[in-house]
Amino acid sequence: MRILLYTGKGGVGKTSASAATALRCAELGYRTVVLSTDPAHSLGDSFDIKIGGKMTSLAPNLWGQEVDLLVQMDQYWGRVQNYLQALFAWQGMDSLVAEETAILPGMEELACLLQITALADSGDYDVVVIDCAPTGSTLQLLSFPEMARWYIEKIFPFQRRTIELARPVVKRLTDMPIPDAAMFDSVEELVGYLERISQLLSDSAISSMRLVLNPEKMVVKEAQRAYTYLNLYGYAVDAIICNRVFPTDLTDQYFTQWKSAQAENLQLVAECFDPLPILRAPFFGQEVTGMAMLRQMAEAVFGAATVPGGAGDPTIRHYPGKPQEIVRRDGHYVLSIPMPLVERDEVHLHRSVFDELIVRIGNWKRNISLPIGLARLDIDAARYEGDFLNVYFEIPPEKAPVEAELKPSGWQNLRNRLRGQS
Ligand SMILES: Nc1ncnc2c1ncn2[C@@H]1O[C@H](COP(=O)(O)OP(=O)(O)OP(=O)(O)O)[C@@H](O)[C@H]1O
Ligand SMILES: [Mg+2]
């Protein structure tokens, strides 16, 4: 199963590239679904077929859906939201404000992520193509699972068992709503989903992110920032799709200046993203809508179709780069986070009391949940080496972690607490 996710600046051709990819996959025989998570859906326009919130058949082997946020949110979040609302109301907010506040930021992201997980785990599809919103919203979407884990840990800072023991006493003393078993179950279920989506998206054998851009300076710069943050969050970008390139045989005088600017920017694209492959699509003489144009776009980006797994197959991993990993080197464990393109003086590292390593670049922050094995070691150094930020944890002989302790444990801890197992 493969998840192919397309993002980039507004209007660069994300939807066209996603639709072309999905059609090619379906024509190669993969059972394919293309999902739009951009609230301003335009997937239907690409196929020239009305899609909407229900799964719609678009061609043999090909289905499409435009995520309906309200339906998704009702399905999964209702119970948690009710509890938050009650909690806020108890704290003295009037109920109207409480109702508003209980619509937490991130609900839309959550709805999309839950739908991606459901499709990926349904067993109905070989390929899930995701047509994302422009870069900023996509980064918000992809950082959501980690942010939510942090939130839930703080909102439910208690053990299920503790709450059960304290319930009769607390009930007599206050009218504060106390989470009941059903509430713990629903939060636990939510955590399960978030953990799963986080696993799916950060497994580079399953998920590949693709950045769509045009050879224009501002567009390239935005893609460059997105690339850095995707690496920071541990997601694998495997290709750049450079769309709307003027054909070289274009002789019209009017385009001379445009062409030379593009030539310069194509060079910039190569410099910025090397060694990622850069797949190109020309500026077509017409809009990319309807099956024939989508086939033409796929032909340009991926080359002629051959056989599944062969040349021209969009599911191929175009670049095998890895997200973060832990390696043992020179008496240390090294947590290695790929960070190409980053301004080197911009990164800040902190350790929190919650066994987390907080990496901050500009306005973006990542809380890396340290595996138990690393959490009890001291950080010796943090250095940029090549395109990686390497954090060195010293291993004193008596504290050498065992293999199992080197896997991130944040999700497991949270789940155990909600289940009442410490
Ligand atoms: N290579 C191309 N040649 C000609 N027209 C193109 C090309 N790529 C995309 N288009 C057209 O440009 C418009 C914008 O493309 P598209 O909707 O794919 O971009 P997008 O990145 O998804 O935009 P948004 O950010 O609004 O979602 C569409 O009308 C599409 O048909
Ligand atoms: Mg779009």
416 vs 162: CA distance, rounded Å: 13
Q: Residue 50: how many CB atoms within 10 A of its CB?
A: 9
Q: Is the CB of 38 under 6 A from ligand 1?
A: yes
Q: What is the pLDDT along the chain (422 residues), one digit of tens a residue?
A: 999 999 999 999 999 999 999 999 999 999 999 999 988 889 999 999 999 889 999 999 999 999 887 777 666 666 666 666 665 655 556 666 666 655 566 667 778 888 899 999 999 999 999 999 898 888 888 888 877 777 777 766 566 667 677 767 767 776 666 667 777 777 777 788 888 998 899 899 999 999 999 999 999 988 887 887 787 778 899 999 999 999 888 778 888 888 889 999 999 898 778 788 999 999 999 999 999 999 999 999 999 999 999 999 999 999 987 767 778 888 888 988 877 766 666 678 888 766 778 888 776 677 676 777 788 888 888 888 888 889 899 988 777 777 667 766 667 777 777 777 65
Q: Is the dihedral of CA 19, 23, 28, 34 positive or negative?
A: positive
Token duo for residue 52: 């909407």
Query: Which residues have C-beta within 8 Å of that of residue 21, sequence separation ≥ 6?
Result: 4, 6, 34, 129, 298, 301, 302, 314
Spatial strand order of the sheet with 364-369 comes to 347-351, 356-361, 364-369
Residue 310 C-alpha to ligand 2 middle, in angstroms? 28
116 vs 197: CA distance, rounded Å: 8
Residue 8 C-alpha to ligand 1 middle, in angstroms? 11
Count how many Cα atoms sit within 13 Å of the Cα of residue 363 in the half-sphere of its side chain.
5
Ligand 1 atom nearest 42 alpha carbon: 17
Q: Is the CB of 81 under 6 A from ligand 1?
A: no
Residue 326 C-alpha to ligand 1 middle, in angstroms? 40
Residue 142 phi, psi (nearest 5): -75, -20
Q: Encode 165-211 in three state secondary structure.
A: HHHHHHHHHCCCCCCCHHHHHHHHHHHHHHHHHHHHHHCCCCEEEEE
Ligand 1 atom nearest 282 alpha carbon: 1
Domains of the chain by range and CATH?
Answer: 1-322 (3.40.50.300), 325-419 (2.60.40.790)
